[in-house]
Amino acid sequence: MDFGQSSQPAGAASTKIVVAGGFGVGKTTLVGAVSEIVPLRTEALVTNESTGVDDLAATPMKSTTTVAMDFGRITLGEDLVLYLFGTPGQRRFWFMWDDLVRGAIGAVVLVDTQRLDEAFAAVDYFEAKQLPFIVAINEFDGAQRFPVDEVREALALPIHTPVMAIDARNRESAKAALVRVTEYALDQIISGIGGPQTSVAHY
């Protein structure tokens, strides 16, 4: 499958970032907001078959769900291309995460403060993988705002793990999260803390 690598700037480095989180937290929205190519989406309609399997109470207006991945690409400056892979949020598709994170340099864990408990699984997953990650609080319209430090404490995150508030619909806001996770992941690699699967490719 062609993921658009042929148009990558000559001499640029490329790397992979994973966007993860619970169902309906805005992963597909974030990838679509920043991607400079038409994002690849693998969405299916939410049907009655989801009843009793997926918890839709907090997202009653959501009619589709990612069943494999979202894919997009963004160029940072002239020398770094990020390939974005959004994970499926529903628990029954989590078996795909191992394949999606292979070769990733870092991850963005997108969270909704109204359903903060759904973020623990992703946080635990990336901690176990020793993959550098940041937490991005998606500030939904009408949702109560909480200080970043309170969210960090609620998720029991170490002080060095970046936590920031974003609007996944806004390109610049979402892009800031990708810049932050890239910087953080590269710092972890340089210091020897990052997991063994992190990599940056040069072309």
Q: 167 is written with which tokens?
A: 């609007």
Taking residues 100-106, report their average pLDDT: 94
Q: How many domains does the chain have?
A: 1
Among 81-90, 109-118, 179-188, where is mean pLDDT lowest?
A: 81-90
Evaluate whether residue 27 is within a structural domain.
yes
Say what the pLDDT of residue 149 is. Answer: 96
Evaluate whether residue 83 is within a structural domain.
yes
- Where in the sequence is the domain holding 103, given as residue range(s)? 12-194
- The confidence band for 38, taking pLDDT boundaries of 50, 70 and 90, is confident
Say what the pLDDT of residue 55 is. Answer: 53
Evaluate whether residue 200 is within a structural domain.
no
Taking residues 78-98, report their average pLDDT: 81
* Between 60 and 93, the higher pLDDT residue: 93
Q: 81 is written with which tokens?
A: 């291309």
Phi-psi label, residue 143: left if phi above 0, alpha if psi -120 to 50, beta otherwise: beta
Evaluate whether residue 189 is within a structural domain.
yes
For 11, 32, 36, 124, 167, the CA distances from 175, given in Å and listed in that order, are: 22, 11, 11, 24, 10
Evaluate whether residue 149 is within a structural domain.
yes
Evaluate whether residue 201 is within a structural domain.
no
pLDDT tens, position by position, 133-153: 999 999 988 888 999 999 999
Taking residues 65-74, report their average pLDDT: 74
What does the buried/exposed string (b/e) look like for 9-43 if buried means 16 or more CB atoms within 10 Å of the residue's CB?
eeebebbbbbbbbbbbbbbbbbbbbbbeeebbbee
| Spatial distance between the Cα atoms of 127 and 121, rounded to a whole number of angstroms | 10
Residues whose CB falls within 8 Å of the CB of residue 32, separated by 6 or more in sequence, listed in order: 39, 41, 70, 72
Note the helical H segments in the chain.
Answer: 27-34, 97-101, 120-129, 148-154, 171-190
- The confidence band for 42, taking pLDDT boundaries of 50, 70 and 90, is low
Say what the pLDDT of residue 191 is. Answer: 84
| Spatial distance between the Cα atoms of 26 and 21, rounded to a whole number of angstroms | 8
Instruction: Please report, for the domain that includes residue 144, its CATH number.
Output: 3.40.50.300
* pLDDT for residue 11 is more than 80: no
Pairing of strands 80-86, 64-76: antiparallel
Taking residues 188-198, report their average pLDDT: 69
Evaluate whether residue 7 is within a structural domain.
no
Q: Of 73, 101, 88, which is closest to residue 2 (Cα–Cα)?
A: 73
Say what the pLDDT of residue 39 is. Answer: 83
pLDDT tens, position by position, 114-127: 999 999 999 999 99
Mean pLDDT for the chain? 82
Evaluate whether residue 129 is within a structural domain.
yes
Identity of residue 109: V
